[in-house]
Chains A and B, each alone.
Chain A
Amino acid sequence: QSALTQPPSASGSPGQSVTISCTGTSSDVGRYYYVSWYQQQPGKAPKLVIYDVSKRPSGVPDRFSGSKSGNTASLTVSGLQAEDEADYYCSSYAGSDIPMLFGGGTKLTVL
């Protein structure tokens, strides 16, 4: 199973919105509503920001939203803030043998 495909970088100015894509196949992203997104600040452990395509864990600002269409999932960060600058990783369920298949990560820069 190949990793999910994410753009290596994305950027936006404070207050703007940015969307990061995550492309898989009909065996993972396209088949299950089990896409998660993780934020990783430099030197820290990842943090879950979206799960089950569009659900937000308690404490995650509603500026973070997720969606899916076909084999591609997306994370949108609205009202960009300096603290949103981080690496973002998507993951998808790909069956009981591969419950978490990760994307390569996207570095989000707040200009």
Chain B
Amino acid sequence: QVQLVQSGAEVKKPGASVKVSCKASGYIFTSYYMHWVRQAPGQGLDWMGIINPFSGSTTYAQRFQGRVTMTRDTSTSTVYMELSSLRSEDTAVYYCTRALVGVTHTASHWGQGTLVTVSS
């Protein structure tokens, strides 16, 4: 079965960077786009960007441009999301989520989430 297993919780200071991993299993890794979505405490879902695991090409939400980098390692079926210049407003649960085959507009499977806390 499809599984997305994310790395553990992180605590970072303002100005630092964080890198969250998401290891996929149970399907052909390179055949499905992967999104990153975050959710601040008590808030809604916020789309951050998408990566094509086959080509490595990425599209980022405009408000994260310049601060976010999404990469993948096909040898380990893992995608990564790195967010830099962290501020308190970046405190959130970060989810990786896989799209349906061949499309980019859905999130059919979700990781368990990674809590990133930004605090001095």
**Which of A's residues lie within 8 Å of B, judged by CB?**
3, 32, 34, 36, 38, 45-48, 51-52, 57, 89, 91-93, 96-105
Interface size on B, residues (CB 8 A): 23
Q: Interface SS of chain A: helix, strand, loop or mixed?
A: loop
B87-120 CB contacts (< 8 Å) to partner A: 95, 97, 100, 103-108, 110-113
* Residue pair A100, B110 in contact (C-beta under 8 Å): no
* Residue pair B108, A48 in contact (C-beta under 8 Å): yes
Q: How far is the CA of A96 from the CA of B52 in the complex (A)?
A: 13
| Extra pairs beyond A34-B106, A96-B104 (6, CB < 8 Å) | A32-B105, A45-B112, A46-B97, A89-B44, A91-B106, A100-B35
* Residue pair A102, B113 in contact (C-beta under 8 Å): no
Of the A-B pairs whose beta carbons lie under 8 Å apart in the complex, a sample of 24, sorted by A's number, is: A3-B44, A32-B105, A36-B105, A38-B45, A45-B113, A46-B45, A46-B95, A47-B110, A48-B106, A89-B44, A89-B45, A91-B47, A91-B105, A92-B105, A99-B47, A99-B59, A99-B105, A100-B35, A100-B50, A100-B105, A102-B37, A102-B45, A102-B46, A102-B47
